[in-house]
Structure 1
Amino acid sequence: MTRQQIAGSQGEAFVKERANAMGFLYSPYGPPEAGYDGLLELRDPETGAPSGRLIAVQVKTTDDGSYTADDGETFQYLMDAEDVAYWHEGNLPVIVVLVHLGRREAFWKSVDDGQGPGQRRLHIKRSANRFDETARDALAALCVAKSGFGVWFPTYKGGERGHMNLLEVVLPKEIYVGASPYKTGRDALFALLEKEERPPDDWTIRAGHFTSFRDPRGTVLDRIVDGGSIETVSAADVALPDDEADEHAVIDLLRRTLAAQLDGLLAFHRDQKAFYFPATVKTIEKKYGYQSLKIATSADVVKKYEKDGRLKYVRHHAFEPRFWRVGDTWFLSVSPTFVFTWDGFRPDRFASGRLAGKKQREFNSALLGQFVMWHHLLTGLGQKGATVSLFDLEPERDHILQFKAVEPLALPRGVPDDVWRSTEVVPFADGDQGRLAL
C-alpha cells in the first residue's frame, strides 16, 4: 500500500470519527472509482434510529502542506471536472471533506457551492466550514428531497417557545342594541355626515338593528337610533352567536371599534387593509420605543429613503388585522407588513413592487420583531400611566377594546436558528429595513 493510500484510509477514519461525534453514521462506499468515498446517514437525535436520508462524501486527505490561496482564514479547492459532472447528475447531496492529518482538522463544502468555470472552485472559510459538531445542523439541512417538498434536520430535544401572532380580545361587559329608522349603515352614515364631518364609526346597522359597544344616547348617534328602544345587554350574548352571519356582523363591529380607537394614532391604508404609522408633518420620520423580548429598544417606524439628496420614498411599518373566534374567545391576528408612500402622505405608485421586494428579503426574526413591537403597542391600549404604547399620548381616549398577550407555545422540538438563517436571502443594504430587535 502506498503512502497516499495509507493517508486516504487515515482521512476516512478521521471523517468517520467526526461524523459519529455529530450523531451521524459514516459508511465507506464502493471502489475508489465510484465517485464517492462514503455516505453519511442522518440519525434520529433522540432514538439513534437511522433515517434513510443520505449525504454522499468525497474525502481529500493531505499529510502536511498548505491549501491554495490560503490566507489563514479562507482557502480554495479545485474539484475534478469529471467528478463535478458526475455528482450533478445524481439525486444525493454531495460534500467534499478536506482532511489535514498534520493539523488534525477537516473542512467541508457542498459541491453545489462551486464557482467559476465549470463550477469547480470551492471557497472554504475555516470559521464556518469546520467538519465537526458545529456543522451538524448545516449538514442536515442539505437533505432536501429533490423529488418532493421539505427539509429534514435534527431538532433540539429540549424544544423551544413558539410565538403566535395573536392577541386575545378582552370585550367590554355590555353592548348597546336598539332600533334604527335606517335599514343599513350606509344610509345612516349619510344622515350623520349632514351634521358632522367626522362622525363616530364604531357601530353597525343591519336590517334596522343598531349595535355598538358605546352608549349612543346623548351623542350624534341619536340621529340614527331610537333612544327609547336602546337596551343594554351582556356583550357575551351578542358577541358569541351560533349563526355564521351573525358572527360576521360581530367581526364588522370589532373591526370598526378598533379603527375608531386607533383613529388619530395610526392611519389606515384601504387597499392593503392595514394600519400604519403616519408620518410627522415636519420631519416625516418617526421612532417608536418599545420593550422587546430581551431589552428596551426602538424602531424607525417611519423612515425616508433618499438618493442623491432627493427623496425616493417613505416606508411605514404596518399591520394587517383580522379577528378570529376560537370557542368563546375572540383573538386579533397581527400580520406585520409595510406601507410605502412618496413623501410620507401621498401614495407611492411603485408601492406594490417595493412591498413585494421587501417581503422577499424579510428574515424570520424580523417578522417576530415586528410582531413584538405591535404586541407591545396594542396590549398597552388604555393602560393609564404605562410607558409602553402610543395610546398613552391620549389618556382621555375611551378604549373600549382591550388586548391581552397570548402565552407562547411550549414546543417539544425546536428548529436550530442557524438552519433558518442559512436559508434566508441576505437583504439589500437598505438601512434598518431588515431586523427589529427581539
Structure 2
Amino acid sequence: MGQVIISLRYADDGGVEGAPVTLGKMIDDNTHKGDAGIALIHRRVSQMKHVWHDRTLDAGIDGSIELRDPSTGEMSNQHIFVQSKTGDRFPGETDTKFHFICNDRDVDYWMKAGHNPVILICSRPDTGDAWWAHVQSAFADPTRRATRRIDFDKATQKFTGDLSAKLFALTDPHGAAHTPVADQRPEKLVSNLLPVDFPDVIYSAQASTSAVGAVYAAQRESPYPVRSDFVLSHGRLYAWAPLAGTGLVRSTTTAAREMPVGELLGGSEDERHLFVRLLGAALQHDLRDSCRWNNQRRFIYYAASADLTELRVLSASGRKRLAFKGFYQRKDDPSRKQFYRHAALRWNFIDLAGDWYCQLTPDYYFTSDGYKESPFADEYLRKIKVRERNLAVLGETQLWAGVLRGDTEPSLMDSDETQRLLDFGPLLTFDVDKGIDDKEWQAPSEDDENPDQMALDFDFEDLE
C-alpha cells in the first residue's frame, strides 16, 4: 500500500485547510540491495556457464542453479537451491571471516529440501564480494543446527571463479553427471616418494631374547653405542652392520652370519616383510641423533632443542622450515609457552617395478614441555589439519626429504659413530601436459604463501 502524507496549512480564519497527498509505491534500500544480490549471483552463475532460475515467490529460496556439463553443454537436470543474503557488514566480520545467524524457520525449510542441496550466499553487491556455504553440511550436526550459525572463511568460500567441480559434488558426489576437463598446460607433479638405496648385505644371529626392550637394555649396559638398526624375527636378530664389537652381541647366542639382501627380496612374503621392517629400523637409526620414536603415534618426531629454542632445517626445496617451536598462546600469561610443535613423519617402504621408494607422510606432534605429549594434542592436530593447504603439506614433505637426503646444515644423518645406512634420492616428480588450477576450487591462504610461519590461531582457552 502506498504511503499517505497529510499536508495541513492554517487558514486566515483560524481554521485548517489542506488535503491528503498520496505518494506512489516505495522501494526501500534493503529491497534494492536484495535485488542487487540476486543479480550478482545470476551473473556469477552465468560466468560459470550454468543456468540461473529466479523464483517469483520467495518462501526461503530465492532461486536455483541448474548445472550444465562444461564439456558437452548438456543440461544435467541437477539443481541447487539458493538463498541470498546481502549486507554492508556481517556479524563477527574480520578480514578473514564472518558468520551468519539464520532464521529458525528458514533452517527448517532448507533442511526439508530432500536430495536437493541448498546453499546460502552472503554478498556485498556494491563491491562484488560474495561467499557461499552448503546449508545441509553446516547443519548436519544437531548442536550446530541449534545455534543457527554458519561460519564463513573469506578465502576458501568465495562465490567466484569456476566452482563447477564443487557444485557438481553437492548434487552428484560420484561424478556421473559431468566430465571434468583439465586445462592444456605443462605442469610438474611432485610426489611423496623418495628413491632409496641400501647395503647389499645384512647380518643375523640366533637371539637370546624375543623382547626388543631387552635388546636395548643389554646395549645400554655395554660400553658400545646403542644401535637401533635391528629387527627380531623368529628367534633371530637381524641387523645392517656387523654385530661383532657392538652391544648387540649381548643379545645373541651364535656368531653372526652375513647374507645378501637378495635372499630376503627373493624369498617368501614374510621375508620381504622382514626386509621392509629392516629398512624402517635403518631409517630410525640414521635419525637417532635428531628424532625420537613415539610408539603410540607410530611415527618419529623432531626432538626438542636443549634450550627449547626453535629448530629450522633445510628442506629439499632449499628453504629452511620449522622442525620444532614453542608457541605462546595463553591469554592469562603471554610469556608462558602453552605447547610445542614438533615436525613428525610416518613412512612406508614400497617396491615399484623392482625399485624401492620411501613414501613420506608428514605429521605433527604436540608436547606441553618439549617432551611430554600435550593433553590437547589431538585438538591441536585437528585445528592445524583444517588450516593446511596443498603447499603446506608439500613443504612438510620437502622438509623430511631434505632430512633423509642429508641436506640439513649440519647433516643430521651422519654421526661420529657410523655413517648413514640408507641413501635417498630426490622426490619423484612427473611432467604432465594437463593440469587443474587449484585456485579455482580453493584459494591459497597466508600459510601457503609463508608455510614456515604457520601457527594455530584458535582460542586455546576453549580447550581447558
* TM-score calculated relative to the size of structure 2: 0.65
For the Cα contact (< 8 Å) 1:177–1:209, is it kept in 2?
no
Cα offsets for 1:347-378 (capped at 9, x unmatched) = 14515445554455441333332122111211
Map 1:162-177; keep pairs closer than 5 Å. Answer: 162-172=189-199, 174-177=200-203
- Cα 1:51–1:266 change in 2 (3 A) is same
Q: Which residue of 2 aligns with 1:370?
A: 396
1:255-404 matches, cutoff 5 A: 255-281=280-306, 283-291=307-315, 293=317, 296-299=319-322, 301-305=324-328, 307=330, 308=333, 309-345=335-371, 347-348=372-373, 350=375, 352-358=377-383, 360-365=385-390, 366-380=392-406, 390-391=411-412, 394=415, 397-404=418-425
Instruction: Give the C-alpha shift of residue 284 in structure 1.
Output: 0.7
In the alignment, the residues of structure 2 paired with residue 265 and residue 76 of structure 1 have an alpha-carbon distance, to the nearest angstrom, of: 44
**CA deviations over 1:177-214 (Å, ceiling 9, x no partner):** 45437475757666655534643232345445553332
For residues 151 and 227 of structure 2, the distance between their equivalents in structure 1, rounded to whole angstroms, comes to 65
Question: Are positions 1:195 and 2:188 aligned together?
Answer: no
- CA change 1:404–1:69 in 2 (3 A) is closer
Distance 1:110 1:231, change over 3 A: closer
CA separation of 1:415 and 1:348: change in aligned 2, threshold 3 A: same
Cα deviation, residue 149, structure 1: 8.1
1:213 has 2:240 as partner: yes
How far does the alpha carbon of each residue in 1:27-67 deviate from its partner, in whole angstroms, 9 at most, with x for none?
456x5468656532233333333344323356899xxxxx7
Counterpart residue number, 2:69: 44
Deviation at 1:142, TM superposition (A): 4.8
How many equivalent residue pairs? 399
Q: Which amino acid in 2 is paired with 1:343? A: D
TM value normalised by structure 1: 0.68
User: 5+ residue gaps in structure 2?
Assistant: 1-24, 140-145, 448-452, 458-464
Q: Contact 2:83/2:118 (CA < 8 Å) preserved in 1?
A: no
Deviations, residues 409-429 of structure 1 (Å, cap 9, x unaligned): 55755363463459999xxxx
1:305–1:334 distance in 2 versus 1, CA, 3 Å = farther
The match for 1:93 is 118
Tell me the SS of whatever aligns to 1:23: coil
Structure 1 residues 388 and 48, CA gap change in structure 2 (3 angstroms): farther
Name the CA distance, whole Å, in 2 between partners of 1:46 and 1:286.
50
> CA separation of 1:151/1:407 partners in 2, compared to 1, >3 Å: closer, same or farther?
farther
State the Cα distance separating 1:175 from its structure 2 match. 0.6
Distance (Å, rounded) in 1 between the aligned partners of 2:207 and 2:151? 77
Change in Cα spacing, 1:310 to 1:108, as seen in structure 2 (3 Å) is: closer
In structure 2, which of residues 424, 436, 441 is the aligned counterpart of residue 414 of structure 1? 436
The alpha-carbon distance between structure 1 residues 433 and 97, as it changes in their structure 2 partners (threshold 3 A), is: closer
Matched, 1:56 2:81: yes
Listed as ranges, the matches of 1:112-191 within 5 Å are: 112=135, 134-137=160-163, 141-142=166-167, 145=170, 156-158=182-184, 161-172=188-199, 174-180=200-206, 182=208, 184=210
Contact 1:42 1:52 in 2 (8 A): yes
Structure 2 residue identity aligned to 1:201: S
CA contact (8 A) 2:218 2:247 kept: no
The CA deviation string for residues 269-307 of structure 1, in whole angstroms up to 9 with x for no partner, is 2322322222222x21232132464x6233252325464
**Residue 269 of structure 2 corresponds to which residue in structure 1?**
244
**Deviation (angstroms), 1:338:** 2.4
The alignment status of 1:21 with 2:47, answered yes or no, reads yes
Structure 1 CA distance for aligned equivalents of residues 47 and 282 of structure 2: 58
Q: Which residue of 2 aligns with 1:383?
A: none
Structure number with larger C-alpha Rg: 2
Partners of 2:194 and 2:427 within 8 A in 1: yes
- Following TM superposition, by how much is the alpha carbon of 1:243 offset from its aligned partner in structure 2, in angstroms? 1.7
